[in-house]
C-alpha cells in the first residue's frame, strides 16, 4: 500500500522559527502564505511505499503538482486513463521511486491565479502576485494586470532570491504571453451544475 501526505499551502507568518525550519518552506525568502513564491506554493510531499520507495530519501529537484496525483496513482495501480481524458498533470512515479535519468518533462506549464493587492500593502510587501507560471526551470510571477513581473531560474535559485527578468527579457516576454493565453481560457464565472447538493441544502436553511 502506498501512503502520501501533502501539506497545506505553505505556512502562516505566526509559525515559530523552529516550525519553519522543520518544514523547510516559507518565510525564509518571502512572507508566508499566499505570496506565490515557490516556497509558498511549494510544500512538503511525503510518500511511504514499503519495498518500493526508499526510506529517508529526499528529492529536492522534482516539481510535483496536485494535478500530477491522478496520473501518478493510476500508474501505480496499473490503471490506464481514459482515452477521452486529457490530464493536466504527468505521472511522477519515477520521482517517487528515486529513478535517475527519467526526469519528467512537462508538455505544458503550471499556472496559478490569486487575488492580491497592487500596489502591495505595507504590512504584506510580498503579497502582490496575482498570476504565476512555472515552465521547466523558469518561474514568473506577475501583478493583477501583468504590468509588473519577476522572473526566477528555479534550477539555480530555489528560494527565489534573484530576480533575473532584466537579463532574460525574451523568457519574460514568452511567459507573460503564456499567462495571457491561459487567461483567455478561464471562464468569467462558474457555469453549469458545479456545486454540491449539500451546498444548496445549507443555503436553503440560512
d(CA 149, CA 136): 18
The answer to whether 131 touches 139, Cβ cutoff 8 Å, is no
Q: Would you state the pLDDT for residue 102?
A: 67
Q: Would you state the pLDDT for residue 110?
A: 92
Confidence at 35, pLDDT banded by 50, 70, 90: low
The ranges assigned to domains in the chain are: 3-183
pTM above 0.75, yes or no: no
Summary mean pLDDT of the chain: 80
pLDDT digits (tens, 9 = 90+) for 97-120: 888 666 678 888 999 998 888 998
CATH topology for the 3-183 domain: Arylsulfatase, C-terminal domain (3.30.1120)
Indicate whether 18 pLDDT > 90: no
Angle at 59 between CA 2 and CA 178, to 5 degrees: 100
Q: In degrees to the nearest 10, what's the CA dihedral of 183, 135, 66, 69?
A: 120
Which of the listed ranges 11-20, 49-58, 74-83 does the model predict with the highest average pLDDT? 74-83
Amino acid at each position: 500500500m502506498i501512503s502520501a501526505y501533502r501539506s497545506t499551502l505553505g505556512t502562516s507568518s505566526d509559525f515559530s522559527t523552529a516550525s519553519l525550519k522543520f518544514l523547510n518552506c516559507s518565510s525564509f525568502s518571502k512572507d508566508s502564505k499566499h505570496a506565490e513564491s515557490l516556497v509558498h506554493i511549494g510544500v512538503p510531499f511525503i510518500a511511504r511505499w514499503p519495498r518500493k520507495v526508499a526510506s529517508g530519501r529526499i528529492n529536492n529537484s522534482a516539481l510535483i503538482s496536485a494535478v500530477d496525483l491522478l496520473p501518478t496513482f493510476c500508474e501505480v495501480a496499473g490503471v490506464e486513463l481514459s482515452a477521452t481524458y486529457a490530464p493536466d498533470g504527468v505521472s511522477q512515479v519515477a520521482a517517487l521511486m528515486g529513478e535517475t535519468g527519467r526526469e519528467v518533462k512537462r508538455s505544458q506549464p503550471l499556472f496559478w491565479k490569486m487575488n492580491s493587492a497592487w500596489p502591495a500593502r505595507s504590512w504584506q510587501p510580498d503579497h502582490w502576485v496575482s498570476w504565476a507560471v512555472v515552465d521547466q526551470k523558469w518561474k514568473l510571477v506577475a501583478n493583477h494586470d501583468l504590468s509588473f513581473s519577476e522572473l526566477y531560474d528555479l534550477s539555480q535559485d530555489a528560494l527565489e532570491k534573484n530576480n533575473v527578468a532584466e537579463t532574460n527579457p525574451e523568457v519574460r516576454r514568452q511567459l507573460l504571453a503564456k499567462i495571457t493565453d491561459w487567461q483567455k481560457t478561464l471562464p468569467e464565472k462558474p457555469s453549469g451544475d458545479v456545486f454540491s447538493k449539500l451546498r444548496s441544502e445549507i443555503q436553503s436553511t440560512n
